[in-house]
Amino acid sequence: MSPITQPLIKPLKTSAGLWLPVLFVLATGGLLVIMVFLTLAYQVIYLNRIYPGVSVAGIDVGGLSQAEVMAAIGRRAPDYLARQVTIRYGSDTWTYSGEELGMRVDVVTTANAAYDIGRKGDLIADMLTHLSLLRSPRNIEPTILYDTGPTNQLLQGLADKINEMPRDAQLVIHPNARIEVIEAQRGRRMNVEATQPLIESALFANNGQVVIPVVQQVLPAITDVEAARQQAENLIGRPLLFRFKGETGITEWRLEREALVGLMDITSKVNDAGKTEYSMTPNREKFAPYVEQIAQALEREPTDARLEFDPETNQLIVLQESQDGRSLDVEATFEQIMALPNRQTHLVELPVTVKPALVSSKEPEKLGIRELVNEATTYFKGSNESRMQNIALAASRFNGVVVPPGGVFSFNKHLGEVTKEAGFNESLIIQGNRTSVGLGGGVCQVSTTAFRAAFLGGYEIVERWAHGYRVGWYETQSVPGLDATVYTPDVDFRFRNDTAYHLLIQTMTDLEAGTVTFQFYSTKTGREVTLSEPETSNPVKHGPPLYENDPTLPKGATKQVDWAVDGLDVLIKRTVKEGDKVIHEDEVFSHYQPWRAVFKVGTGGRT
């Protein structure tokens, strides 16, 4: 018999206790389905609309589209932008609106934020949000955007009103030499970068808080000019004196305070401590004209002694005392002027450089003037009175002249100006290729005499010019070729005293005899002078007489003004020896043009 087998499936036993859980699950699931259904239906109803219970800025926007929300927010935006911020500095206040400061309401972002409430994409969470909004409505504030650009721009303009540059201490010198000190004053500068966050905070707080801008002090670069004031007082507080102590007393030049003001510079520099300092210093260029005036006033050329030798006593007589020259030491003067800021003085002692006279009258016995060493005489008898007076006057200018050893004698220098004021008369002179009437006719008689005394005395001839044609007076008791013409200032006669002794020139004019003499006094050196016979060449016959009408002469009268003379070249050689030594070996060349006689024929009325 087979074993009995148990059934694999047993019958289910049921009871009331077992059905309750099943029924709860079924009920709950049905409720959830209903709620999901309702949520979906709710979302469909408010598709593209704001859910109920949402407000923006206190405005209920439930059921509104985003566009309608943006419009509503736009209407409320001015209320937000009208909020004000007040800035106060001292007694001044400035008030700006939020809109002026760069605020604006972002209606799009705000509308999107309202629309996004209840739309997280989580069905349960969104359903709970919907239920929550029905019990507790939610309000959101508009999104506010803030652009700092307008605020910074306004603050920059405000800074222009608040900012104040510092004022350095100043030293002011008025034209009347009054010294004024202007005290330093601190400045201020508004810190725009530090003030901007304060504006932003007050703007969003919207609590009426007054903003005090961040203002910083700015210190002046120069705070003290007392040292410069004392220096200015030292420089221009009193007149400036320039003093010269001369042989005959004290001479002073005075610059008043008002004049000194324009001669000073006020400069500034940064010292070692990094601070700027003022200083007053003399301006050399501005002082230069004043120093030049003083220099001209002090300038004095040395005056050589004029002497006379008495042949009877062999003694020197002083006709004119020597006087040393002087000139202002300009550089040393400026050194004192530029050092005035460091000196407690208003006095410049003028330094001068002494220019000693070449011929001193203090110890004449040391000059070596002991005897007559040479003389020369020329003849002018027959000259008119004007010519004779000119000769006498010109010769007197050389009487007592002393030429020191190595010194160069200049005829024109000692002759001086040939003018009517100097006493010279009009007489016949050689001018160009004609003989004409002019001042100083006869002066060349004196220069010819001086030339012969030097030439025959063996001295070095430095400059000599021949006349344009042969003049009879210069060949009287002489050979041709030993004349010397002068014409100031270009044509001169000069010789050098190339001995070791001073040379004294004495002149004598005898108007009755018609002679002029140059005497040289010195110490004889044993010089021997040898002249060659004149070597003549290139003779040129003079032309026929020339007759010229002259209305100043009576009709029919004739007057000769030029005398005929042939042209000729003349060469004279000179040898000067001291013992066996040749001191000079030179020659004098003269080129004389032919000269024809000239007659003036009167064409005037009867006398």
Is the model's pLDDT at 13 over the cut of 60?
no
pLDDT digits (tens, 9 = 90+) for 544-602: 999 988 888 898 899 887 788 999 999 999 999 999 999 999 999 999 999 888 888 98
Q: How do the residues of the chain divide into helix, strand and coil, expressed in percent and rounded to 5? A: 30, 35, 35
Which residue has 């006498």 as its token pair?
392
Q: Please, which residues bridge with residue 246 across strands?
A: 249
- Name the range with the highest mean pLDDT among 141-150, 230-239, 572-581: 572-581
What are the start and end residues of each CATH 3.10.20.800 domain in the chain?
Answer: 226-355
Q: What is the pLDDT of residue 598?
A: 86
Give the pLDDT band (50/70/90) at residue 174: confident
- Within 13 A of 571's CA, how many CA atoms are on the CB side? 7
By the 8 A CB rule, do 570 and 464 touch?
no
Cα separation of 528 and 176, whole Å? Answer: 76
Question: Please, what sign has the CA dihedral across residues 377, 381, 384, 385?
Answer: positive
Closest CA to 237 of 178, 185, 291: 178
Mean pLDDT of 115-137: 85
SS (H, E, C) 515-532: EEEEEEEECCCCEEEEEC
Give the pLDDT band (50/70/90) at residue 32: low
Is the model's pLDDT at 432 over the cut of 70?
no
Mean pLDDT of 251-265: 92
What's the pTM?
0.58
Closest CA to 515 of 452, 429, 566: 452
Q: Please, which residues bridge with residue 347 across strands?
A: 241
Locate the DSSP E strands across 432-545: 434-439, 460-463, 494-496, 503-510, 515-522, 527-531, 535-540
Question: Please, what sign has the CA dihedral across residues 253, 254, 260, 264?
Answer: positive
394: left (phi over 0), alpha (psi -120 to 50) or beta: alpha
∠ CA 117-123-126, rounded to 5°: 25
Q: Which residues of 50-84 are buried (b: 16+ CB within 10 A; e: fewer)?
A: bbbbbbbbebebbebebeebbebbeebbeebbebe
Is the model's pLDDT at 303 over the cut of 60?
yes
Give the residue with greater pLDDT, 496 vs 77. 496
pLDDT digits (tens, 9 = 90+) for 449-495: 999 999 999 999 999 999 988 988 899 999 999 999 998 888 999 99
Closest CA to 255 of 223, 282, 226: 282
DSSP states of 184-197 as a string? PB-EEEE-HHHHHH
Cβ burial, residue 598 (10 Å; 0-12/13-18/19+):
middle
Mean pLDDT of 109-118: 89
Question: Please, what sign has the CA dihedral across residues 99, 103, 108, 112?
Answer: negative
What type of residue is 307?
L
Q: What is the pLDDT of residue 506?
A: 96
CATH code, residues 226-355: 3.10.20.800
- Within 13 A of 415's CA, how many CA atoms are on the CB side? 28
CB atoms within 10 A of CB 574: 17
Average pLDDT, the chain: 87
Q: What is the pLDDT of residue 437?
A: 55
User: Integer distance in angstroms from the first to the last C-alpha of the chain?
Assistant: 218
H helix or E strand, kind and range, residue 149? helix 148-162
